[in-house]
């Protein structure tokens, strides 16, 4: 047998035909998140100078190029991608005022110091699909990873599996609420039948006993896992943590890090490194990118723009165009002489960028998989390192690279003030409190402080509600022939998606202007 | 720079050397879940007849074979793997009293009618590693999938994103509990400082306003997602569902399906189908398996066992051995004449098996990815189909196979009573209430009712606490030279892990007996 589509459609009537009504009633398409982008009409004869071969600059060149624009991208670095960057053996970086770092990773291993993950609703996935970039699941959430806080209470400086903290916190809070509802202590505007349903929900949610007590749960795992035959039998459980210990540990405050829309499962990563996205654009733009071109001046002319840049030899060169798309991060842009309006210059200087750092640590053995049974996911801690990421690829391989720290603001500044080698030492020292295998298995590392990385000077635009209101509208207004683009011109700051959305918006705006002939 | 291990160890003292203390204090290894299995000593000269080339039977033969046992496996089917089965184009199945089904799937597409996922703590992963079977993440949890219930209340017969239901339910329950604690309505044996911490936790957990109200959250998603420039701007949200509607919908009762230890992320699947595990064993046992061998009699002899089976032609044949490992599912075993003890026969007859069914539906277009932005995960419903699984592999491919239903007990019996083609129609009819794209995109399907599958007659051993207490110890006692093995001889019933753990246990027991010479 093999039922065909035609057969199904003719048979549906048997069940009352209401599938058709359902088809009409339901929205078939979340158009705002699924639409493919394309410009129509021609931009032939128009020249666009794009500053920066990051994902925003390249996406703009790619989309404008499709409809005939002549684009030239000036890129200060000797590589494309900007923050969409993957570090492999031999790659090097010298931070502002810093020492030279050369990656000593094993061939085949890599580290994404910048963005690393893609939510499933992102425009980023659309480009991966268009370019045929293979993707794999980024395990942003792993219940087997740890929490570790130097805090108050009996859980201080103890590593605890996420599943233990979650099961116990859910258990205790569900018990409290279920009892309060059951004993009618809350003023709930629902029927007693619905109250019973609510209590039943909480009983499941917390794995409570019939009399609404939380007495621990297999959800938190076992000290001896269930097996076969009579030994080890049904599994041996530990007692739950008490509510007081959990509250004092602060672990509960980590739960919500997985709740925000951009951190929810399913998440993805490109197979082989985040820079596969940058490389896919770069391949399609190979003759349009000038590398080692550091922008020195941005000037308006009678009919467009004139950009002065220093080439690899330091020699000053000039290019002209009808339009300019400037994707240079604002902390860098504010230091470049230009004809931009005073109002725009004030906005450029007014937006703060995130201070953030990350390290990649190569280990001789994937002890987190072999010993701890942690495959992907994130350990969270209030130590300076803030997070440890376990790789979401090459499971079982002999070696692997962990993200040894990923921290922000004060912690990132403190870590960033150290030389790269000392950052690695700090990440190893702190990480070994959670993974004592660190000293024995560590081989080599690479550490980045984004606020000290040349041509970036920050992780991403970090708007406050004030700067968003005061400066964002100005930044989004073209200044004559000059348009700003990048993650900082979006509500998805820090995400490749923000850069891509911005590129599409600016490409559309320029194209609209060209087509209207104004 | 590249800090070496030696340098790190010498530098650690700078921070007070407490990493070493930490190393000692922490357990390095969860030995109960990470240990590799191996027998030592020789079983040369001993012959073991194994009934069933499922994962239990093959794992036993594989481990015993490593130490010299002469194993022969009798397998009733013309393939190995048993319930560890992947259906591809041309595969066929005729259920007990049923019509012949032949899979018409596109080459390269497949459907796992039985087990499909592997938790990260499982022995199953160890064998995948040993055999070099590539694994990929099984996205057991996807916040973008749907809930759909024909229930009471204003959410009845509406499809709702999981993230909407979760964010709103967490919001409302956190609001209730936070207010009760803040207003000191609960009798909590914690300090007022800890109460404040608890309220702060609930504020984050529920995304509550500073005055502890839940007013909706971006966690539930957007009707228009945030973008770049000024349009579409920061994203447009919908109002949250009210508590009454949520309670009446019953959606909250689905949350905990992701909480049990065996359903928590990270989960895996072998690349290319679950049967890659069976095939890996099979390759290593190719000369030891007799296919098409239906066991007719299990007899004890003076020195061992004598098994009578019908070969492919129906001709009766006999084999003898020193031991027998019988992995035949109990509902099948109870119909086979044998010398098993009356007590064991009573136990075999006393254990009920799960009634469960699954279908694979091939669609011409991956509308769930393109239109709905659902990459992997599970939609849950109180319709007969119970669940829809989205594939965790070949993202972006042109076509794909959904699990169109995966149901249990009454629902599985009702569905199983239909002919396979009618099951597919039912799955399509019900599924199209959630995915109206079904009728347009459907191509072909394959449906299994495990309780009607020959040589299985059920999904897995479904113990009650009574049958576990009454029969399980007896089933685990060898009856002379005859040992039972399989998922039903474990506390991991329904999981390949249970079969593998049982195989190791029985192999160990036989080997111990041989070595002790008794």
- Answer left, alpha or beta for residue A216, where phi above 0 means left and psi between -120 and 50 means alpha: left
Contact between chains at A505 and B228 (C-beta distance less than 8 A)? yes
* Minimum CA–CA partner of B465 in chain A: A234
Q: With an 8 Å Cβ cutoff, are B248 and A194 in contact?
A: yes
Token representation of residue B122: 């499982």
A465–chain B Cβ distance below 8 A for any pair = no
Q: Judge whether A21 is closer than 8 Å to chain B, CB to CB.
A: no
- B89 to chain A nearest CA, in Å? 11
Is A161 within 8 Å of A144 (Cβ atoms)?
Answer: yes
Determine whether the interchain pair B99/A1 forms a contact, defined as Cβ–Cβ distance below 8 Å: yes
User: Per-residue pLDDT tens for B439-488?
Assistant: 999 999 999 999 999 999 999 999 999 999 999 999 999 999 999 999 99
Residue A27 has pLDDT above 50, yes or no: no
Mean pLDDT of chain B: 93
Quickly state the pLDDT bin for A34 (edges 50, 70, 90). Answer: very low
Query: B209-220 burial, b if ≥16 CB within 10 A, otherwise e?
Result: eeebebebbbbb
Q: Which residue has the tokens 């002790």?
A: B516
Of B475, B477, B479, B478, residue with least CA distance to B487: B475
CB contact under 8 A, B143 and A265: yes
* B508 in A contact zone (CB under 8 Å): no
The answer on pLDDT for A200 being more than 60 is yes
If pLDDT is split at 50, 70 and 90, which confidence band does A311 have?
A: very high
Contact B455, B485 (CB under 8 A): no
Alpha carbon distance B109, B94 (integer Å): 21
Would the CB atoms of B375 and A424 count as touching at under 8 Å?
no
Map B337-402 to HEC letters: CECCCHHHHHHHHHCCECCEEEEEEEECCCHHHHCCCCCCEEEEECCCCCEEEECCCCCCCCCEEE
pLDDT of the residue at B8: 42
pLDDT of residue B62: 98
Q: Are strands B305-310 and B159-161 parallel, antiparallel or unpaired?
A: unpaired
Contact predicate A405/A383, CB 8 Å: no
Please check the confidence at residue A16 and state whether its pLDDT lies above 70: no
Report CA-CA distances (Å) from B377 to A32, B142, B254, B359: 22, 5, 13, 16
Q: pLDDT > 70: what percent of chain B? A: 93
Nearest to B373 among A33, A170, A244 (CB): A33
Give dist(CA A55, CA A61) in Å, integer. 10
- Name the residue among B99, B97, B77 with its Cα closest to residue B424: B99
C-alpha distance from A311 to closest chain B C-alpha (Å): 28
CA A100 to chain centre: 27
A315 Cα to chain B: minimum distance (Å): 31
C-beta separation of B507 from B43 below 8 A? no
Check B259 against A23: CB less than 8 A apart. no
Asked whether the beta carbons of residue B444 and residue A2 sit closer than 8 angstroms, the reply is: yes
Q: Is the pLDDT reported for residue B187 higher than 90?
A: no
Judged by a CB distance cut-off of 8 A, whether residue B377 touches chain A is yes
Among the partner residues B5, B223, B424, nearest to A3 by beta-carbon distance: B424
Is a pLDDT exceeding 80 seen at residue B7? no
Size of interface A-B (CB pairs under 8 A): 394
Q: How far is CA B292 from the centre of its chain?
A: 27
* Tens of pLDDT, residues A283-298: 999 899 999 999 999 9
pLDDT, residue A35, reads: 56
Whether chain B has a CB inside 8 Å of the CB on A90: the answer is: no
For an interface test with A, give the residue of B186, B229, B235 to mutate (most A CBs within 10 A): B229
Enumerate long-range contacts of B193-196, CB under 8 Å, 24 or more apart: B194/A244, B194/A247, B194/A248
pLDDT 10s digits, A92-146: 999 999 889 999 999 999 999 999 999 999 999 999 999 999 999 999 999 999 9
- The whole-number pLDDT of residue A189 equals 86
Predicted TM-score of the model (pTM): 0.93
Residue B219 touches partner A, C-beta closer than 8 Å = yes
Task: Average the pLDDT over each of A221-235, A275-289, A465-479, B70-84 and give the range with the smallest value.
Answer: A221-235
Number of CB atoms found within 10 A of residue B398's CB: 10
| Nearest of A178, A166, A143, A168 to residue A243 by alpha carbon | A168
**CA distance, residue A343 to nearest chain B CA (Å):** 18
Q: Tell me: the pLDDT tens digits for A42-87?
A: 999 999 999 999 999 999 999 999 999 999 999 999 999 999 999 9
Average pLDDT, chain A: 93
Structure confidence at residue B22 (pLDDT):
34
Cα-based distances in Å from B352 to A22, A226, B76, B326, B349: 39, 21, 22, 18, 8
Question: Whose structure tokens read 């599943």?
Answer: A163
On the question of pLDDT at B18 being above 90, the answer is no
B68 Cα to chain A: minimum distance (Å):
24
Chain A nearest C-alpha distance from B317 (Å): 31
| Strand order, beta sheet including B356-363 | B159-161, B146-148, B377-381, B387-390, B400-408, B356-363, B442-449
User: Cα–Cα distance between B383 and B378 in angstroms, integer?
Assistant: 14
Backbone dihedral angles phi then psi of residue B361, each to the nearest 5 degrees: -120, 120
The alpha carbon of residue B119 is apart from the nearest alpha carbon of chain A, in Å, by 10
CB–CB of B8 and A185 under 8 A?
A: no
Identify all chain A residues contacting B176, using CB atoms and an 8 Å cutoff. 177, 180-181, 186, 188
ipTM above 0.90, yes or no: yes
């Amino acid at each position: 047998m093999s039922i065909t589509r035609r057969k199904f459609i003719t048979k549906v009537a048997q069940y009352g035909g209401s599938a058709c009504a359902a088809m009409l009633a339901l929205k078939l398409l979340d158009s705002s998140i699924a639409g493919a982008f394309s410009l129509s009409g021609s931009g032939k004869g128009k020249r666009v100078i794009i500053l920066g071969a990051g994902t925003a600059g390249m996406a703009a060149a790619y989309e404008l190029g499709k409809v005939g624009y002549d684009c030239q991208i000036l890129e200060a670095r000797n590589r494309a991608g900007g923050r969409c960057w993957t570090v492999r053996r031999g790659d090097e970086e010298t931070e502002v005022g810093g020492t030279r770092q050369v990656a000593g990773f094993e061939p085949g291993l890599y580290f994404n110091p910048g963005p690393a993950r893609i939510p499933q609703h992102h425009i980023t996935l659309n480009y991966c699909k268009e370019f045929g970039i293979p993707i794999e699941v980024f395990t942003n959430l792993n219940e087997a990873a740890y929490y570790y806080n130097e805090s108050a209470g009996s859980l201080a400086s103890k590593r605890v599996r996420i599943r233990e903290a979650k099961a116990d916190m859910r258990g205790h809070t569900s018990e409290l609420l279920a009892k309060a509802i059951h004993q009618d202590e809350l003023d709930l505007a629902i029927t007693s039948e619905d109250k019973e349903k609510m209590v039943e929900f909480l009983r499941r949610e917390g794995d409570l006993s019939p009399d609404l007590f939380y007495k621990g749960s297999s959800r938190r795992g076992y000290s001896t896992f269930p097996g076969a035959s009579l030994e080890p039998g049904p599994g041996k459980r530990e007692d739950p943590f008490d509510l007081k210990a959990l509250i004092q540990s602060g672990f509960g405050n980590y739960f919500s890090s997985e709740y925000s829309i951009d951190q929810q499962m399913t998440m993805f990563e490109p197979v082989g490194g985040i820079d596969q996205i940058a490389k896919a654009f770069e391949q399609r733009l190979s003759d349009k990118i000038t590398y080692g071109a550091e922008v020195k001046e941005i000037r308006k002319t009678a009919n467009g723009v004139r950009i002065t840049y220093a080439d690899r030899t330091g020699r000053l060169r000039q290019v002209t165009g009808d339009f300019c798309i400037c994707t240079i991060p604002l902390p860098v842009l504010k230091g470049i002489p230009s004809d931009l309006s005073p109002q725009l210059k004030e906005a450029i200087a007014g937006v703060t960028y995130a201070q953030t750092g990350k390290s990649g640590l190569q280990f001789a053995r994937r002890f987190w998989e072999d010993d701890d049974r942690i495959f992907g996911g994130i350990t969270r801690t209030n130590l300076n390192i803030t997070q440890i990421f376990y790789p979401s690829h090459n499971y079982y391989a002999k070696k692997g690279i962990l993200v040894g720290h990923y921290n922000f603001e004060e912690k990132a500044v403190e870590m960033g003030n150290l030389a790269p080698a000392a950052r690695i030492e700090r990440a190893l020292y702190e990480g070994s409190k959670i993974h004592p295998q660190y000293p024995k298995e560590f081989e080599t590392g690479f550490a980045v402080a984004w606020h000290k990385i040349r041509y970036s000077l920050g992780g991403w635009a970090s708007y406050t509600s004030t700067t968003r209101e005061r400066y964002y509208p100005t930044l989004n207004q073209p200044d004559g022939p000059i348009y700003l683009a990048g993650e900082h011109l979006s509500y998805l700051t820090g995400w490749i998606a923000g850069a891509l959305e911005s590129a599409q918006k600016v490409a559309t705006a320029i194209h609209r202007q060209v087509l209207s002939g104004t």
